Structure 1
Amino acid sequence: MPISPANRSFQRWCKIMSSAPDERMVRIAELEIHSADLDHYRAYLEEEIAASVEREPGVLMLHAVADRADPTKIRILEVYANREAYETHITTPHFLKYKLGTADMVKSLRLVDVDPIILAAK
């Protein structure tokens, strides 16, 4: 029985997540967005994340959440196979479109590199 593209993608993801965890690059991006721009920012973000996960094998996970009490505060958990995958990611057309398109919407940005203790998903 042939393996579906979704299963193939999942198998690749499992292999990357389980091999050489010390090479993974994990970061939390902490953003604050101007409230008037929030809907436009979220549209750019959704497009960028969808393209990154679909097109870039080294982008393992991008999870974006908003603070329930203040939705202008966005947090993004970023997991890359390694530093090289991150460096490739920030030069892609979809990422550059996002960065340029949202530059004036972002009130503040803080990038926090972290060490994963455990990353699990169901």
Structure 2
Amino acid sequence: MSRKPIVAELEIDPDTLETYRALLTEEIEASLALEDGVLSLNAVSIRNNPNQIRILEIYADQEAYEAHLRTPHFHQTAHMVTSLTLIEVDPIAMRAKP
């Protein structure tokens, strides 16, 4: 069963924002390098509210998503997140250049 994309809406403790952003970059790199089931992770911040982060996550399947949640690199930033909402979305057009 294929996993639909997820948009994660996060709010980060402003006192940890710089550290969070650096660790999130490392986490995304590690996830893509080490986890076959992680297909895409794209993170952005809201321009006028930089502690509000949005991540578009795409996994091969539900098992890959659940495995990602158990990785050490995923857990290294959990204490910095003050709010988290997960939204299942339906793709309309998702493309990237190789």
Mark yes or no: TM-score above 0.5. Answer: yes
Which residue does 1:84 correspond to in 2? 63
User: Which gives a bigger RCO, structure 1 or 2 (Cα 8 Å, sep 6+)?
Assistant: 2
Q: CA deviation at 1:56?
A: 0.8
Q: What is the TM-score when the length of structure 2 is the normalising length? A: 0.89
Q: CA deviation at 1:84?
A: 1.0
**Higher CA-based Rg:** 1
Whole-angstrom CA distance in 2 between matches of 1:75 and 1:69: 13
Once the two structures are superposed, the pairs formed by residues 45-84 of structure 1 within 5 Å of their partners are: 45-84=24-63
Between Structure 1 and Structure 2, the one with more strand by share is 2
Which residue does 2:89 correspond to in 1? 114
What's the RMSD between the two structures over aligned residues? 1.4
Gaps of 5+ in 2: none
Whole-angstrom CA distance in 2 between matches of 1:108 and 1:96: 15
Task: Using the aligned pairs only, state the percent identity.
Answer: 54
Q: Which runs of 4+ in 1 moved over 3 A?
A: none
The number of equivalent residue pairs is 97
Between Structure 1 and Structure 2, the one with more helix by share is 1
Whole-angstrom CA distance in 2 between matches of 1:106 and 1:96: 11
Gaps of 5+ in 1: 1-21
Give the counterpart letter for 2:28 in structure 1: I
Q: CA deviation at 1:32?
A: 1.1
